[in-house]
Amino acid sequence: MTKLNVLRYEIRRLISTKQYLYSLLIISLLTYDVLNRLLIGGFKGTAPFSPWSYSEFLALVISVFSVIVILMWINVFSEKEQKVRGIIFSAPITQSRYYLIKGIAIGLAASLILLVIIILSFGYYYLVYGFSDYGTFIMPMVYFICPSFLISLGLGLFIGKINVKILYLLIPLFLVIGLFNLGLPGLLDLTGGSYLFDHFNYLNLEVIEKYTLTKEFLCSRMILIVLGLCLFGIGCRIKQ
Amino acid sequence: MEIKITNLSKAYRGKNYVLKEINLDLKTPALIGLVGPNGAGKTTLMRLLVSQILPSQGEITVDGYNLFKNQHYLKERLGYLPQDFGLYDELTVEQFLDYIACLKGSKANRKKVINDAIGRTNLDGKRRARIKTLSGGQKQRVGIAQAMLNDPELFIVDEPTVGLDPEERIKFRNLFSENASNKIVILSTHIIDDVESICNRLIVMDHGIILYDGTPTELVQKTVNHVAVVELTGAEQMITEGQYRVVSRLVSPTGVRYRLVGDDLPRSSKLITPTLEDAYVYCMMKGGF
């Protein structure tokens, strides 16, 4: 119960910062821009409200979202936060449990940002196209949000524990991978954007209609999810 | 509570020893003053005592349990204020104390524990103020308040009176003294006055070793006949340190009055009763007793 209160405080601390407010603002503007400018015509000839178009939308937005998660971890390992650790680690709480709480707090605070992205996109589809069959977007969300979210959460903690300065390198990395089509292989294609661009042209009409993704891609997404969880678990256990 | 420190050493990169073969036995009740110059090893000793760093050799036992294998046992009984600490600026005083109380596992009477700490540290008027709006001294009080939560059996404070005004300093050292009746209080400080007023045991450290471990009174007694004053007129030469150390230098209309500590004092000087500060300087000069 008392640890739940700690979690409550951690979430409150995260969402009451200017950084969080700016993050929400930037991601909302990006969502609006991507929907209005890039997806209004649909992804590669599919309808704007097709799962393919929604996947493309998510692949673009999730790179900035991952950067937000990394920025949250940078805060956790900032010098200012480290100074409080002297007091915190004199309390009977293990480092693993403490970072687990921090990770859950970041995960929940970031999920709220995700919720805003999703609500905005659903609202857009409803208002512009009168489209409300949101069930078709569930699989794109699972394939494109979960791996990127978990890998940024795990990588942020793991690298932050080793050296916070390396965390800054992840910011351009996520942006470049997400916003440019680099033709990366599955495991490096953290946002799934390269897959959509490269492989869509080779798909036949039936696959396009059913929103069927290749086994290789699904496998790489699964590996990224497991890797993200493993990095998070190991990151919690690394002693500083 | 009983803490035994046996042959404790700490070296960085395997060769730079900041603590060398420390042996101590601490038992409740005790109010221990830990003094020494910067780099003496005081903070390292404290960080080892709260198991925030591991020793290079030696061991610490708390009530017979090895500290580094039973950290939880110690931390459930610990109140600690580090020298250079941070607070969560965006929380209010009350929220921050509640946060720490939750980490410490306070359950049923958390509100009472927090109110008590706020009252004792004179933060009543600031309980709903955000920490970022507090002055340096007020933040220091929040630091002391969090260490007092849960009425710990072992209370370790590193330079607690830094940033406090003289009145607050007196208040806090009395507070530490009141608390010491049923616990071990370790107070690291540069301010000899603080130690003289409240500590029943004094540990003087330098270069990672203990120079003195005993009562302040015994240390003062060891300095009798080694403290003197000498007054020199303006025409006479300035006094230079060599066989003795200058503890103070007071300029008067007739000249300069020096307070000296040493073995071989000038013939013209007049012996006086030593203070704890004189005794500390003499101890440092002799390299321990």
- Whole-number Å distance between alpha carbons of B216 and B33: 9
The tokens of B195 are what?
């130690």
pLDDT at B105: 85
Query: Is A84–B75 a contact, with Cβ atoms under 8 angstroms apart?
Result: no
List the domain boundaries for chain A: 2-237
Q: How far is B99 from chain A (nearest CA, A)?
A: 6
Query: Is B90–A91 a contact, with Cβ atoms under 8 angstroms apart?
Result: no
**pLDDT digit string (tens) for B200-224?**
999 999 999 999 999 999 999 999 9
* Share above pLDDT 90 across residues of chain B, in percent, rounded to a whole number: 68
Q: How far is B43 from chain A (nearest CA, A)?
A: 12
pLDDT at A30: 95
pLDDT at B240: 67
Does residue B186 surpass a pLDDT of 90? yes
Count CA atoms within 13 Å of residue A83 on its CB side.
11
| Of the listed ranges A20-34, B12-26, B160-174, the one predicted with least confidence | B160-174
Query: Is B90–A88 a contact, with Cβ atoms under 8 angstroms apart?
Result: no
**pLDDT digit string (tens) for B7-38?**
999 998 877 899 999 999 999 999 999 999 98
Size of interface A-B (CB pairs under 8 A): 74
The tokens of B243 are what?
């066989």
Does residue B85 surpass a pLDDT of 60? yes
Return the ∠ at Cα A229 (arms to A226 and A234), rounded to 5°: 120
> What is the pTM assigned to this prediction?
0.89
**pLDDT digit string (tens) for B115-158?**
999 999 999 999 999 999 999 889 999 999 999 998 899 999 99
> A234 vs B242, which has greater pLDDT?
A234
Query: Is B102–A2 a contact, with Cβ atoms under 8 angstroms apart?
Result: yes
- Whole-number Å distance between alpha carbons of B33 and B172: 14
pLDDT at A89: 94
**pLDDT digit string (tens) for A146-161?**
999 999 999 999 999 9
Chain A residue closest in CA terms to B49: A90
Average model confidence (pLDDT) across chain A: 91
Cβ-based neighbour number of residue A129 at 10 Å = 12
pLDDT at A195: 86
Does residue A139 surpass a pLDDT of 80? yes
- Whole-number Å distance between alpha carbons of A146 and A223: 11
- Whole-number Å distance between alpha carbons of A227 and A186: 13
pLDDT at B175: 84
Does residue A197 surpass a pLDDT of 70? yes
Q: How far is A97 from chain B (nearest CA, A)?
A: 11
pLDDT at B171: 84
Query: Is A2–B106 a contact, with Cβ atoms under 8 angstroms apart?
Result: yes
Identify whether the C-beta of residue A178 lies closer than 8 Å to the C-beta of residue A63: yes
Q: Across residues A57-80, what is the average pLDDT? A: 95
- Residue entry with tokens 């997400």: A178
Q: Across residues B246-272, what is the average pLDDT? A: 88
The tokens of B6 are what?
């046996």
